[in-house]
Amino acid sequence: MKNKYRSDLAIAKNLGSAGSGSAHWWHQRVTAIILTITTFWLICFSWSLSGLEVSGVIDVVKKPYNIVMLALFTVAGFYHAALGMRVIIEDYIHCRAIRLVSILLVQIFSIVTIISFIIAVLHVMNL
């Protein structure tokens, strides 16, 4: 009775759920919530930086709370973007080789950018 609603061809080709859709959906929703919260913080943070000189901005950014929030915003943002781009690429690129290369390039770009941001933050902390 398990295959009651599936056609014979679908059963023969073993077509069905990939089993990873719900995890992807949850990751998108969680990162969206994190981005919403950190965006409100980022707006308030940038407003507090207006009118400060460079040395004052560096002093404010050096505070651990601000570093954590900036890192959280960046990591969640790039992860959320990579998830979204993956869905778009999987939906609209039909050639398997181009699809695989595109997904890998998006993931590599996201990882490299996140690592660059973390290195920049560590550099600012040591100023």
Domain count of the fold of the chain: 1
Average pLDDT over residues 90-109: 96
At 18 the pLDDT is: 61
At 23 the pLDDT is: 85
pTM for the complete prediction?
A: 0.79
Query: Considering the domain boundaries, does residue 6 fall inside one?
Result: no
Query: Structural domain of residue 83, as residue ranges?
Result: 26-125
Q: What is the CATH number of the domain that holds 41?
A: 1.20.1300.10
Query: Considering the domain boundaries, does residue 17 fall inside one?
Result: no
DSSP per position, the chain = -TTTTS-HHHHHHT----S-HHHHHHHHHHHHHHHHHHHHHHHHHHHHHTT--HHHHHHHHTSHHHHHHHHHHHHHHHHHHHHHHHHHHHHH---HHHHHHHHHHHHHHHHHHHHHHHHHHHHHHT-
Query: Considering the domain boundaries, does residue 19 fall inside one?
Result: no
Query: Considering the domain boundaries, does residue 9 fall inside one?
Result: no
Query: Considering the domain boundaries, does residue 8 fall inside one?
Result: no
